[in-house]
Amino acid sequence: MIVDPVEILMKTSRQLLPTASPTKVAPIPSVVPDLPEYQHAHHDGKTTLWVVFVIMVIASAVFAAMSWRVPVSKRLYHVITTLITTFAAISYFAMATGHGVSYKHIRVRHSHNHVPDTYDDIYRQVFWARYVDWSLTTPLLLLDLSLLAGLSGAHILMAVVADIIMILTGLFAALGSEGTPQKWGWYAIACIAYLVVIWHLAINGRAQAAAKSQKVASFFFAIAGFTIVVWTAYPIVWGIADGSRKMSVDAEIIAYAVLDVLAKPIFGLWLLFTHAKMPETNIDLKGFWSSGLDREGSLRLDDDGA
């Protein structure tokens, strides 16, 4: 076989020529979406809801029993206070059974330099039954304090309306979109409304209570001051829990539970026991409250010839 030397030389030269090494490309980071995070109540939170439900039921029974020991015309404080803990018991039963709860969707954005932005989806429990409770019970609490101080109907109405605005705007803030100014705008409106409530209690209420007697004024100052301190803690808890989510749902439940027990059963016991020993706080509602409408004011069709 004849071998061509030119062909051999060309093959050898190809083997001796340097070849370019393959370029190594860094792997492109893949963005895998994480599973949604669910922030909800666990064992401690659920147990707390049931415990407070029982406390509210017992308090309602105690307040109702205390009302039976006084005449019907003097049961106004007892009836109002019993309604407060009754509404609270219903609310806690709804939350404990999961019927007064909804989930709020929160999307948290994370920015990166060389890869697309990523998002975390968070679903946090919002106990809307709590706001229904507050919209009913806090006006009744204000009514107790207003009657104790002797506030006028105009001041009572303004305080109650401001209180309802405070609760509703707090609910709007809790359900508002995350990262928008509207959420904290609703929260600011709620705080302003709360300042109106405090003004009516601290200024008008204290002046009216002092006009009754020094004894009533001292009691009103103590129980109203206690109420203001407890109520001021509510927006603080809201800001840490629903507002910035720095508090777990269980811790939120426990914090609100402590405040609710102080603001309702403890407040009610203090009010009713002191009221029983202080005749100056009596409100004798004769007529309609105990006996219904007077027949003298009823319409008589025979007089019109009908």
Percent of the chain predicted with pLDDT > 90: 47
User: What pLDDT was estimated at residue 276?
Assistant: 86
One-character DSSP codes across 187-209: HHHHHHHHHHHHHIIIIIIHHHH
Q: Which segment of 63-67, 71-75, 293-297 scores lowest on mean pLDDT?
A: 293-297
- CATH architecture of residue range(s) 33-278: Up-down Bundle (1.20)
With tokens 């109702």, the residue in question is 64
Can you tell me whether residue 126 is helix, strand or coil? Answer: strand
Cβ neighbourhood burial of 73 (10 Å; 0-12, 13-18, 19+): middle
The 10 Å CB-count burial string (b at 16+, else e) for 173-193 is bbebeeeeeebeebbebbeeb
Judge whether residue 295 has pLDDT over 70. Answer: no
Judge whether residue 297 has pLDDT over 50. Answer: no
Judge whether residue 303 has pLDDT over 70. Answer: no
Q: Nearest to residue 267, comparing CAs of 259, 257, 278? A: 259
User: What pLDDT was estimated at residue 24?
Assistant: 56
For the chain, which residues make up each domain, given as ranges? Answer: 33-278
pLDDT digits (tens, 9 = 90+) for 142-177: 999 999 998 888 899 999 999 999 999 999 988 877
